[in-house]
Amino acid sequence: MTIDDGNKSDITYVAPLLKQYGFGAAFYITEAGMRGLGFGRKKSVEAVERPENFVTWEDVRKLHEDGFEIGNHTELHFNLRELSKDQIRAELEHIEMRCREHDIPVPTTFVYPGSHHSIEVVEVLEEKDYLFARRGVGPEFPDNGQGARGPVYNPAEDHPLLVPTTGYAGPEWGFEDLVWAVEQAKDGKIAVLIFHGVPGLHHPWVITEPSDFERYMKYLKDQNCTVIAMRDLAKYVDPSQGPKDPYEPIQRRLALETAAPKSD
Ligand SMILES: [Zn+2]
């Protein structure tokens, strides 16, 4: 269970509900929202967000104290494919420094801003000893940015720094998609879920309504799912194991798809 971007609902709604269910989760924090800045869509950062719609570092510390994982989602949420390795490092280290300042453990897991990943970012994460990093649903599944199904995480194949998203909540993703994601979580495979604001007071393209979120959590409980934070994957998966070429499993899946006969 992963919750991105530090929406205020993390602290006002999501964490209390998850606690009630006894679920673990990782909250991926960036300063893009809390400082009133845009989410790095342009390299020149604009003041376009309302900071009151986002958590503060005091809120983040409270999430940690409540037992949730705090993960790294970079300082300003840029597309890391457009940055140099030094700039990528700086983006990561800013969040690490803020965690230290607020007595929060330095993150060991990461989420790619805007799902933009590359071998350069994987290499920086590897150098910095990150254990797991989550990408989006692509390139195997289409992503129109409004919620989507994605690959199930298969620890026997996938690189731990390119963990795919199985269910990306948004207006075009709903209860049937959650059921589908949970059905994939078998034979050692793991369904990885992303939520943003519940509801988000900004970025309406990725919101989840509280009534839907509650229904989803109840379903996970009824299905007896083990709902955990990213860091707790280490109890089930050895993060030091992975394919030599991190992109090999993704390329193999894409090749299989292209080779498959089309059926009308
Ligand atoms: Zn994000």
- 73, pLDDT greater than 80: yes
Kindly give the distance from the C-alpha atom of residue 171 to the centroid of ligand 1, in angstroms, as a whole number: 16
Report pLDDT for 145: 85
> What is the pLDDT at residue 6?
96
CA of 263 to the centre of ligand 1 (A): 36
Q: Taking 80 as the threshold, does the pLDDT of residue 205 lie above it? A: no
- Helix (H), strand (E), coil (C) string for the chain: CEEECCECHHHHHHHHHHHHHCCCCEEEECCCCCCCECCCCCCCCCECCCHHHECCHHHHHHHHHCCCEEEECCCCCCCHHHCCHHHHHHHHHHHHHHHHHCCCCCCCEEECHHHCCCHHHHHHHHHCCCCEEECCCCCCCCCCCCCEECCCECCCCCCCCCECCCEECCCCCCHHHHHHHHHHCCCCCECCEEECCCCCCCCHHHCCCHHHHHHHHHHHHHCCCCCCCHHHHHHCCCCCCCCCCCCHHHHHHHHHHHHCCCCC
Q: With pLDDT > 70 as the criterion, what percentage of the chain qualifies?
A: 95
pLDDT tens digits, residue range 89-116?
999 999 999 999 999 999 999 999 999 9
Q: How far is the CA of 113 from the centre of ligand 1 (A)?
A: 5
Query: Has residue 249 got a pLDDT over 60?
Result: yes
pLDDT at position 134, please?
Answer: 98
pLDDT at 176 over 90: yes
Quote the pLDDT of residue 44. Answer: 61
CA of 264 to the centre of ligand 1 (A): 36
List CB-based neighbours of ion ligand 1 within 5 Å. 4-5
Residue 172's pLDDT is what? 93
| Interval between CA 262 and ligand 1 midpoint (Å) | 34
For the whole model, what pTM was predicted? 0.95
Q: Which amino acid is at 75?
A: E
pLDDT band at 60 (very low <50, low <70, confident <90, very high): very high
Ligand 1 center to 46 CA (angstroms): 16
pLDDT band, very low/low/confident/very high, at 43 (cuts 50, 70, 90): low
Mean pLDDT value across residues 253-260: 84
Give residue 261 CA to ligand 1 midpoint distance, Å: 36
Q: Give pLDDT, residue 206.
A: 78
Predicted confidence at residue 49, as pLDDT, reads 84
The CATH number of 2-259 is: 3.20.20.370
Look at residue 159 and tell me whether its pLDDT is greater than 90.
Answer: yes
Question: Would you kindly state where each structural domain of the chain is located, as residue ranges?
Answer: 2-259
What mean pLDDT value characterizes the chain?
94
What pLDDT digit, counting tens, does each position of 222-232 carry? 999 999 999 99
Mean pLDDT to the nearest integer, 7-11: 96
pLDDT tens for each residue of 110-152: 999 999 999 999 999 999 999 999 999 999 999 988 899 999 9
